[in-house]
């Protein structure tokens, strides 16, 4: 279904594990490159188009990249974009820091932890966030529990992935309510334990949140129910790539924006592609709510500082990570 065998967040400050994994991933990505998705070159285009290798997870946020590749948008902007699929956030991040890929989708928690570990990764744009009509993450209660509100979670067991965007969102959703957090990194296992009643509740990403509800679980609270934005993904590039190819990054974002316009104009046209690439369970595929995608824009400083404060409270940062050093604004 979704991230078949892995954690659902970025790194947790374990820089050593990333370094060890980077060499392995560098080889593995090259070997697996035959599975990358690369648009066929158009006639008449120069042969020196910039190659951008971008690592993606099976997440609905990635639909614009697949549309831009499938419909020749990247190609029309003079780019040769290779989509490299990953099923593990750790492997994706390792490939990024090793230079096996140039860019990736990520989340603010993961990016800040990468920078804290000493890796020069830049956020070039906000990617996708929840809206009042579309949740991205939710706390879901087991079908056999009596939980129906956030206050009912007091003292209950909630499955999460620690020190990741999942825990950040969980803390924002529950506020001052005290819960018993239990570590279940693998999302399918978290869903299985929830549905069998082995845990009281779990924080799940879409589309598994919607799938759990379809199977009889109960919605406690979602990010779309708050009066503030807490669930965002971002587009990141290695700083050395940006330094050498700033114009290509601008064209990449322009192409991404064109794909976004096409999706938002006629979302149903792209439902089948989204279902294929994001592993949406067939039971909910036809009725799954399509997201409204954002045009490229700078990741807000207020949201960045909110993540920084959360990481500091959890004592997960060993150095100062500044907004100005992390954000690329097209300079």
Entry pTM: 0.85
Determine the pLDDT at residue 88: 86
- For residue 10, give Cα distances in angstroms to 57, 113, 277, 278: 11, 8, 20, 18
How many domains does one find in the chain? 2
Domain termination site, one of 182, 204, 225: 225
Q: Kindly tell me the sign of the dihedral angle through the C-alpha atoms of 133, 135, 141, 143.
A: positive
**Domain identity same for 26 and 84:** yes
| Backbone φ/ψ region at 279: left (φ over 0), alpha (ψ -120 to 50), beta | left
**Domain identity same for 208 and 261:** no
CATH code of the domain in which 217 resides: 3.40.190.10
Determine the pLDDT at residue 166: 95
In a domain, 92, yes or no: yes
**Domain identity same for 198 and 318:** no
Per-residue pLDDT of the chain (331 residues; tens, 9 = 90+): 444 445 565 544 444 444 444 444 443 444 344 345 444 343 334 457 899 999 999 899 999 999 999 999 999 999 999 999 998 888 999 999 999 999 999 999 999 999 999 999 999 999 999 998 899 999 999 999 999 999 999 999 999 999 999 999 999 999 999 999 999 988 999 999 999 999 999 999 999 999 999 999 999 999 999 988 999 999 999 999 999 999 999 999 999 999 999 999 999 999 999 999 988 999 999 999 999 999 999 999 999 999 999 999 999 999 999 999 999 988 7
- Domain interval for residue 162: 137-225
In angstroms, rounded to a whole number, what is the distance separating the alpha carbons of residues 115 and 105? 15
Q: 255 φ, ψ to 5°?
A: -65, -40
Determine the pLDDT at residue 45: 42
**Domain identity same for 220 and 243:** no
In a domain, 9, yes or no: no
**Domain identity same for 33 and 148:** no
Determine the pLDDT at residue 9: 57
**Domain identity same for 175 and 112:** no
Residue 162 three-state SS = coil
In a domain, 2, yes or no: no
In a domain, 90, yes or no: yes
**Domain identity same for 50 and 19:** yes
**Domain identity same for 218 and 237:** no
In a domain, 26, yes or no: yes
């Amino acid at each position: 279904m979704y991230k078949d065998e892995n954690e659902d967040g970025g790194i947790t400050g374990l820089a050593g594990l990333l370094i060890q994994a980077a060499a392995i991933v560098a080889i593995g990505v090259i070997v697996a490159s035959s599975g990358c998705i690369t648009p066929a070159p158009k006639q008449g285009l120069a042969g020196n188009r910039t190659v951008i290798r971008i690592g993606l997870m099976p997440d609905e946020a990635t639909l614009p990249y697949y549309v831009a590749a499938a419909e020749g948008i990247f190609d029309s902007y003079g780019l040769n974009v290779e989509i490299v699929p990953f099923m593990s956030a750790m492997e994706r991040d390792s490939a990024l820091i090793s230079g096996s890929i140039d860019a990736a989708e990520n989340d603010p928690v993961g990016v800040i932890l990468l920078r804290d570990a000493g890796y020069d990764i830049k956020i070039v744009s906000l990617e996708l966030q929840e809206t009042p009509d579309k949740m991205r993450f939710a706390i879901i209660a087991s079908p056999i529990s009596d939980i129906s509100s956030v206050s009912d979670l007091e003292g209950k067991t909630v499955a999460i992935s620690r020190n990741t965007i999942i825990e950040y969102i969980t803390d924002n959703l529950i506020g001052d309510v005290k819960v018993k957090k239990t570590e279940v990194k693998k999302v399918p296992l978290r869903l299985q334990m929830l549905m069998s009643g082995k845990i009281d509740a779990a924080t799940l990403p879409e589309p598994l949140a919607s799938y759990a509800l379809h199977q009889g679980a109960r919605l406690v609270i979602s990010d779309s129910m708050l009066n503030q934005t807490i669930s965002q993904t971002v587009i990141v590039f290695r700083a050395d790539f940006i330094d050498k190819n700033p114009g290509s990054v601008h064209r990449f974002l322009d192409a991404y924006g064109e794909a976004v316009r096409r999706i938002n104009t006629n979302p149903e046209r792209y439902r089948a592609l989204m279902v294929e690439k994001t592993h949406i369970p067939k039971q909910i595929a036809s009725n799954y709510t399509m997201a409204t995608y954002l045009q490229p824009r700078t990741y807000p400083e207020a949201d960045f500082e909110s993540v920084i404060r959360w990481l500091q409270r959890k004592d997960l940062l060993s150095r100062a990570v500044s907004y100005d050093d992390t954000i690329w604004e097209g300079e």
